[in-house]
Amino acid sequence: MTSTDNDSAAQHKAPAKDPWDLPDVSGLVVGVLGGTGPQGKGLAYRLARAGQKVIVGSRAADRARAAAEEIGLGVEGADNAETARRSDIVIVAVPWEGHGDTLTSLREELSGKLVVDCVNPLGFDKKGAYALKPEEGSAAEQAAALLPDSRVTAAFHHLSAVLLQDPEIEAIDTDVMVLGEARADVETVQALAGRITGMRGVFAGRLRNAHQVESLVANLISVNRRYKAHAGLRVTDV
């Protein structure tokens, strides 16, 4: 190729994609595994309030239906398996202690789904919260190992369940760190986070970087206890 050819190719190179050019996710059904717990219920409420179709899941369908009725806004309740089957995006908000067993039991139902893991592996003692290090590296990497036929991402770790569930609060002033392997999947989750008033979804790396994102929750718990707050995060200059 001559220098003239190189110049011509450079002139016709497609412009870089705007990182804030995100897809429309308003028509996707979002399932929340662990949707009867504080974080899951809070996310379900905020997404439904933004107009998203939401199904909350639980091991017991009656508990899920009760939680859905409490949330309102058209939210439905079902057992975890039905929730996974009926959803386009599945948020995993179960307790860390049941994380592996829950995902293993739903491997078939979660096949082909976009899975968003927001579980924080934490321990607690008299000194407060501290991060645990799963064998796979993080909760998100454990999910990816257990769900080889799913598209696993990580997000929604640093959110206050108290703020999420408070109907008097209009906007949740925070950024959501989103991690994943495929840009399209990450951007879908970023867009979902952006549906919640006050939030942005910000790309924060591959799943191998999920451990420090999950672990930071231990620091935020310390902040909240000292300052009687519900701290979140903002990323500057982006």
In the prediction, which pLDDT does 2 show?
57
In the prediction, which pLDDT does 4 show?
53
Instruction: Write out the two tokens for 2.
Output: 């001559």
In the prediction, which pLDDT does 13 show?
74
Question: Which residues are 56's β-sheet partners?
Answer: 32, 77
Question: Which residues are 54's β-sheet partners?
Answer: 30
pTM: 0.92
Reading the chain (238 residues) residue by residue, the pLDDT tens digits are: 555 555 555 566 777 889 999 999 999 999 999 999 999 999 999 999 999 999 999 999 999 999 999 999 999 999 999 999 999 999 999 999 999 999 999 999 999 999 999 999 999 999 999 999 999 999 999 999 999 999 999 999 999 999 999 999 999 999 999 999 999 999 999 999 999 999 999 999 999 999 999 999 999 999 999 999 999 999 999 9
Q: Report residue 131 CA to chain centroid gap.
A: 19
In the prediction, which pLDDT does 136 show?
98
Q: How far apart are CA 202 and CA 144, in angstroms?
A: 20
In the prediction, which pLDDT does 16 show?
85
